Structure 1
Amino acid sequence: MRESATTGARSTPVDASAAAPVTASPLSLVLLGLGVFLLVLAPMLAWYVEPRAKVTPVDVDVTTVFTGTGSYFDTEALKTRERQKITITRHVLGDVTASEESGRAVWDVSTTVDTPKTLALKDPRKAFQWTTERWVTDRRSNAPVHCCEEAPSRFDGDAYLKFPFDLQKKSYRWWDNTLGAAVPLRFAGTKRIQGYEGYRFTGTVGPTRTGSRQVPGRLVGRPRQGQIQAEEWYANSGIELVVERRTGRIINASISPRKTLRAPGAGRDAVTLLDGRSLEFTPATQRAQVELARADSDKLALVGETLPVGAAGAGGALALIGVVLVVLGRRPIGRP
């Protein structure tokens, strides 16, 4: 009976391939993983890396030179010299240590205004006019920061030595240190400087009293008075700044400053101290500024546009190929 029962029993065949776990090929998994990595990397570059790269540099050492013709008051001859070459030289040096300590951009600025006579002396102390400043700005917004022994102690506006990043086609407030206030500059289209296009901003400053200076009375039409506190007046008939859109770097500047003296309460100028007509960046300064702007702009475009777009495109393609290979190439473990 036992032999008969054993002999008559039937066993159900088992499909070994259905029971075995399934795996994909190593190549498909590698392509899928690389694609997912690039898809995650793309928004990180655009939303995390680029904003942190878009900061005002602190290790700057840049000299810009304006030249043009104009007139100035010769204090030795006590008369105005006409049709003279006027040179403005500005040296910007970043204070790296102070910037790191404060987390801001700290720049020391030396500006000289020279006539042909003083330019030959090559000494800022003997220049027609010499000013020193210390500018502190937020590295991301370019807004003024009041700390770190800034000078002047008060300044505001959107721009001075540079404009904010990612310029818009709108008006900006540019700080004019001679005026001691921000001047609205309106967007006026685009302009190419040394073959490189930038946004053009223009504005003017009407005659404005900026202070007083003690001078001989006869100098301002008051010969019966010995020394007199004459009024200092300033105007700028033409400000034109051409700015690189992405970085906010000024690639060309043209200004027409006019400084005069008036007798107290007088309605017109008595002496012209300085009258610069369209003082503009020299070609050498334009080329240097364009090279710096192009290099910085290319870096920002790389991390903010080129790499994210490339990573997203390549990541999507690799992930798709990886998924297709996983679906088509699955096989049971242990089987070829």
Structure 2
Amino acid sequence: MRAILARLALVLGVFALAASAVAIFWGHDAARRIPLNTDSYTRLTGTASGLLTKSEGTVPVTYITHTQVDPNASNGDVIAIQQTSCVATTTEYCIDAKGNFVLAATDDAVVNIGLNKFALDRNGSLAVKDQAKWIKDTSEVKPYEGVVIKFPFGVEKKSYPYWDGTLGKAVTATYAGTRTIDGLETYKFTVDIPATDAEIAEGTEGTYAATQTIYVDPTTGAFIDQSGTQTVALPDGTSVLDIDVTYTDATIKANVDQAKDNGRSLWLVDVVVRWGGLVLGIALIALAVFLLRRPKADATPAKRERVLTHA
């Protein structure tokens, strides 16, 4: 029985050490990659005014983005992403649960429709330099840089470059403290773009200003909550768009739940498998050696007693 237990402990110990080694040398980085099956929706609500709303005064708007990975254009290091967005003056979102637009671009209720394609470093989460290598549609290639849809894993309390699509370049997202949202500590970042001359539409110059307040899960770098404003105007001051939107409560809750789940998964790899497996493996192998080397203490006295009996 002792030999069986020893062999079992040895097998389990070797397995635990192997799992620990995988987690130490590969699992830590592998767990910190943007998943190839990413397919998510972000919903915001707010108000807007200006020419694009085709309304007089300020009106309620809904805003939705659909973010989806192109697995055929991605690999272990770089991930290609397509993101569609739609702002409308309807109460229903103009992209459905299957990722289809439910309103035509020419519909009076549509304020803005967008399509963006970009490539990110799967581990670092920031935009890669050679976008054209990963985005096959040349009309969609832009000089993306910095944070696009998420911050890096293990967010630091510092400023980050943050992509702004209207300006076509990265601006600064400044660290501005912490905030706990539904039990999850987040890092707050702010973006402030003063009124700037810009190409507000293809071939149309104007002025552009924007603000962003982003709350980020420091473990995964995921956006948890976000609010923002944009003010776009023609050179003569005519308002093209003045919009103020924020994440819905349902989106925030879903983001918090997802961040907590992902945080637990990373903790499992980093702590339980890496170091728990190492300690357990060493302990089991030590037990196996002890059981295999332990002498049979009763053998000699028993033999001696039999000899005396037959004398």
Which range, TM-score by smaller chain?
A: 0.7 to 0.9
The C-alpha deviation readout for 1:258-313, integer Å capped at 9, x for no partner, is 111113xxxxxx11111123x11101111222233233332222122222232123
Alignment counterpart, residue 298 of structure 1, candidates 245, 264, 267: 264
Change (3 A) 1:130 1:71: same
SS in 2 for 1:262: coil
| Cα-Cα RMSD | 3.1
Does residue 184 of structure 2 align to residue 206 of structure 1?
no
Change (3 A) 1:74 1:212: closer
Does residue 216 of structure 2 align to residue 243 of structure 1?
yes
SS in 2 for 1:142: coil
Give the TM-score taking structure 2 as reference length. 0.79
The C-alpha deviation readout for 1:101-150, integer Å capped at 9, x for no partner, is x9631211111122249968941513111111112122222232412326
The alpha carbon displacement at 1:185 in A equals 0.9
Change (3 A) 1:94 1:213: closer
User: Whose Rg is larger?
Assistant: 1
Q: Which residue of 1 aligns with 2:179?
A: 191
SS in 2 for 1:128: strand
Structure 1: gaps of 5 or more residues? 1-23, 215-228, 264-269
The C-alpha deviation readout for 1:47-98, integer Å capped at 9, x for no partner, is 2123123211122221111112242226767xxx333213221111222222
The C-alpha deviation readout for 1:21-66, integer Å capped at 9, x for no partner, is xxx9453454355435434532321321231232111222211111
Alignment counterpart, residue 330 of structure 1, candidates 277, 285, 295: 295
Is the CA contact 1:142–1:163 (under 8 Å) kept in the aligned structure 2?
A: yes
Change (3 A) 1:30 1:235: same
Change (3 A) 1:84 1:290: same
Is the CA contact 2:200–2:232 (under 8 Å) kept in the aligned structure 1?
A: no
Is the CA contact 2:61–2:91 (under 8 Å) kept in the aligned structure 1?
A: no
SS in 2 for 1:198: strand
Is the CA contact 1:158–1:164 (under 8 Å) kept in the aligned structure 2?
A: no
Is the CA contact 2:52–2:111 (under 8 Å) kept in the aligned structure 1?
A: no
Q: Which residue of 1 aligns with 2:205?
A: 231
Is the CA contact 2:233–2:241 (under 8 Å) kept in the aligned structure 1?
A: yes
Q: Which residue of 1 aligns with 2:20?
A: 42
Q: Which residue of 1 aligns with 2:307?
A: none
Q: How many residues align?
A: 285
Is the CA contact 2:62–2:91 (under 8 Å) kept in the aligned structure 1?
A: no
Give me the whole-angstrom Cα distance separating, in 1, the residues matched to 2:93 and 2:287: 68
Is the CA contact 1:106–1:136 (under 8 Å) kept in the aligned structure 2?
A: yes
Q: Which residue of 2 aligns with 1:57?
A: 35
Moved more, 185-194 or 56-65: 185-194
SS in 2 for 1:91: strand
The alpha carbon displacement at 1:174 in A equals 1.2
Q: Which residue of 1 aligns with 2:59?
A: 84
Which amino acid in structure 2 is aligned with residue 133 of structure 1? N
Give the TM-score taking structure 1 as reference length. 0.74
Percent of residue pairs identical: 27
Does residue 109 of structure 2 align to residue 144 of structure 1?
no
Alignment counterpart, residue 73 of structure 1, candidates 27, 51, 60: 51
Q: Which residue of 1 aligns with 2:111?
A: 128
Structure 2: gaps of 5 or more residues? 95-100, 303-311
